[in-house]
Amino acid sequence: MAIKAGERMPAGTLKTMTKDGPKDVPAQELFKGKKVVLFSVPGAFTPTCDAKHLPGFVQLADQIRAKGVDTIACMAVNDVFVMNAWGKSAGVGDKILMLADGNGEYAKALGLELDARGFGMGTRGQRFAIIVQDGIAKHVNIEAPGQFKVSAAEHVLGQLG
């Protein structure tokens, strides 16, 4: 069952790359007392994700933060090294926190896993964006298969009022 608006974000651990190497990011720490935009892509460097989804959030990061957002985080079922390389390639700098859900456990906890075996990609996460306020999902935007509308940075910015 996919997470719904009004529900608490599940516990879990993601990873990010730091100058000292990979670091665990507990979901509780990510969301506690903060306003966070968490968006997820099926995979780093995949066509829509690389050409539109991540770049949209990079371009609108300042406007999104101006709406009171503390953290903009990009999650994918990829390893921390791939997410780090993708962030560097996309020039995210400190605008976007790149989070690896290497085994897809957090996507599964959200009820948003994606069976991409037909594409040779195994289990991934669906394309979505969630606006989280102090651990509670306020807006849950899950894309229909093959779509890229409700999880786009422009749509999320509009929801932030």
CA distance 67 to 138: 14
CATH class belonging to 13-159: alpha beta
Does the pTM exceed 0.85?
yes
Active-site residue (options: 30, 38, 44, 49): 49
In whole angstroms, how large is the CA radius of gyration of the chain? Answer: 14
62-67 average pLDDT score: 98
Secondary-structure breakdown of the chain: helix, strand, coil percentages, each rounded to the nearest 5: 30, 30, 40
**pLDDT in the model for residue 44:** 85
What phi and psi values does residue 35 have, to the nearest 5 degrees?
Answer: -105, 120
Q: Which residues pair with 100 in a beta bridge?
A: 15, 76
Indicate if 74 belongs to the active site: no
Q: Which of 14, 18, 41, 48 is nearest to 28 (CA)?
A: 14
Residue 124 pLDDT level (bands cut at 50, 70, 90)? confident
Q: Is 76 helix (H, G, I), strand (E, B) or coil?
A: strand
List pLDDT tens digits, range 76-117: 999 999 999 999 999 999 999 999 999 999 999 999 997 767
What residue spans define the domains of the chain?
13-159
List pLDDT tens digits, range 48-63: 767 789 999 999 999 9
